[in-house]
A and B are shown apart, each in its own frame.
Chain A
Amino acid sequence: MTEIANFISQNLQLIYVVILMIFVGVEIIGHVPAVLHTPLMSGANAIHGVIIIGAILVMLGADSDNILAQSLGFVAVFLGTLNVVGGFVVTDRMLEMFKKKK
């Protein structure tokens, strides 16, 4: 029990962020018309590309003689970039078509 209490007190800020973000996510999606479900999923898909930040941190923190870590990190950064760039561009293309009509 003390371990859990310690964990909570040490990470209080993170826990606040997690809880609030869960509700923000729920609220945001609450009233979206079905028409926009696909672009929205695609946009959310691009945002979780934020994993690339972790991949970059791995690379920056890698020992300069650790070839394995650097190779895996390289692939991770590459895949993360695909997720981010591809995700945002595809979403933009979907939405481009909605814009034309008045």
Chain B
Amino acid sequence: MDYIFSLEFIYLIASITYILGLKMLGHPETARRGNLIAAAGMTLAILGTIFLYQGEVATHIYVLIGIAILIGTIIGWAVAKKVAMTKMPELVSLFNGMGGASAALIGLIEFQHYTGETLSTATILAGIIIGSISFSGSMIAWGKLNGTIKKPFRLPKYNVVNNAIFLVLVIFAAYITWSSSSSQLYLYILFFGALAYGILFVLPIGGADMPVVISLLNSFTGLAAALGGFLYGNMVMLTGGILVGSAGTILTFAMCKAMNRSLVNVIFGEFGNVSENEIENDSHSVKGDIKKTTVSDVAILMNYSQRIIFVPGYGLAVAQAQHAIHELELLLESKGIEVKYAIHPVAGRMPGHMNVLLAETNVDYDKLAEMDDVNPEFQNTDVVFVVGANDVVNPAAHNNPSSPIYGMPILDVENAKQIIVNKRSMKPGYAGIENELFYNQKTSMLFGDAKAIIQALISELKGM
């Protein structure tokens, strides 16, 4: 009976909640409950660890733990509750970085306690390297997503340099391990070296690939947690960490697949291999005349259409236009026009980003069409309304082998009868490449803030 109240048993329960929770997160009906179950398991594990600890502990340490958890809870809760829906992806990246930093700090403290124990030292150093990369990498990803870091930054021969740095880190860690060194200096050199590597690792990767990077760093942090579990022989850290590590890896591959690219390609970057010159040449080749249109023209066009497909992209999220576009959808439907949303798997900043955003406004599930289902329908569509999407509708993916996005599955909007593209300006999309769709004969450009434009469309349409 006593065993029921033992820490091992609590950890067993917690491990089961993680598996169950992740499983339930995979189905729309059970997802929310799954998350809560995992959260309950986590709470149980944390409380158990504190209150069932065997050993002498000074009171002020309990107080410190309590304060740290209290402050962390208040800040974490407040930030997560307050942040706008559009900022969620970067917030996930931020929280992921916090976990990585925590793992690295644990390693920094524990190092001195395990000097001479080869396996434990190796585990600790691996935890420091992976945790630090996850931390600094996530911070860069966060900066890229919220626009603080705009341009991909690349050292000359960055692939060679990065791989060399990583190799040096591993060799250095191996040296510390086998020389049984207890040098704090070495330890901190390794720590800062790994931090620097994390920065250099993510900096060259284009903003459009950040979801993949975050997912990858997510599984890194899982691995770091698992290493901690290995060090302490702590089952709940081991199961939770490995679970996230493996699930996160599969998720990363799923995301790459949606973009028709390999993980190696994302990290070492075909994007990077396209030199600035080539990009310029590309843009020359697609230069032509663009056609501008006005809100009232588009309103008339929509009013006399039978089938319209909206193609939302990150621009919609930035402009907070999700409610406006839903209103437009309802208005058009009330006029007997068939309206659908075509959702590209990587539209926005994360797979499923657009679904989450539109779900917020109660858009009907059935109206959100996935790429493979909607592509054959474009040829029977009168108007395609592209709102703040760019790379996911770029025909260069089909017909320009020198384009960095060549081979990526896209929404074939060019098959529709008319294409209206709403953008703020002619600036290229996140991948930084020109889009020949804008120069297509059937395309008209409607420049302006997505929200303002859609609201203007609504008031025009109401008057018709």
Using a CB–CB cutoff of 8 Å, the interface residues on chain A facing chain B are: 7, 14, 17-18, 21-26, 28-62, 64, 68-70, 72-101
| CB neighbours of B69 from chain A (8 A) | 77-78, 81
Q: Is the interface of B mostly helix, strand, loop or mixed?
A: helix
Bound-complex Cα distance A33 to B25 (A): 10
Bound-complex Cα distance A33 to B254 (A): 10
A85/B76 in contact, CB under 8 A: yes
Report if A37-B106 is in contact (Cβ < 8 Å); known contacts: A50-B45, A80-B98, A81-B68. Answer: no
At the interface with chain A, which of B218-226, B313-321, B421-429?
B218-226
| CB neighbours of A86 from chain B (8 A) | 76-77, 79-80, 91, 94-95, 98
A38/B25 in contact, CB under 8 A: no
Bound-complex Cα distance A83 to B225 (A): 12
Interchain Cβ contacts under 8 Å between A and B, 11 examples: A7-B119, A14-B238, A21-B246, A37-B254, A41-B92, A47-B240, A56-B46, A60-B53, A78-B68, A90-B91, A92-B36
B353/A38 in contact, CB under 8 A: yes
Count chain B residues whose beta carbon lies closer than 8 angstroms to a beta carbon of A.
Answer: 112
Least CB distance from A60 to B in Å reads 5
A28/B19 in contact, CB under 8 A: yes
The answer to whether the Cβ of B239 comes within 8 Å of any Cβ in the partner chain is yes
Least CB distance from A35 to B in Å reads 4
Which residues, 197 to 254 on B, are CB-close (under 8 Å) to A?
214-215, 218-219, 221-222, 224-226, 228-251, 254
Partner of B350, one of A41, A46, A52, A58: A41
A35/B247 in contact, CB under 8 A: no
| CB neighbours of A35 from chain B (8 A) | 28, 352, 355, 368
The answer to whether the Cβ of B42 comes within 8 Å of any Cβ in the partner chain is yes
A47/B243 in contact, CB under 8 A: yes
| CB neighbours of B350 from chain A (8 A) | 37-38, 41
Query: Told that A17-B242, A35-B355, A54-B102 touch, could you supply 11 new A-B pairs with CB distance under 8 A?
Result: A25-B246, A29-B22, A36-B31, A36-B352, A45-B218, A48-B224, A55-B106, A74-B64, A80-B98, A81-B69, A97-B85
B76/A82 in contact, CB under 8 A: yes
Partner of B26, one of A40, A47, A100: A40
Partner of A97, one of B14, B249, B356: B356
B251/A79 in contact, CB under 8 A: no
Least CB distance from A89 to B in Å reads 4
Closest B residue to A95 using CB positions: B32
Partner of A59, one of B18, B65, B351: B65
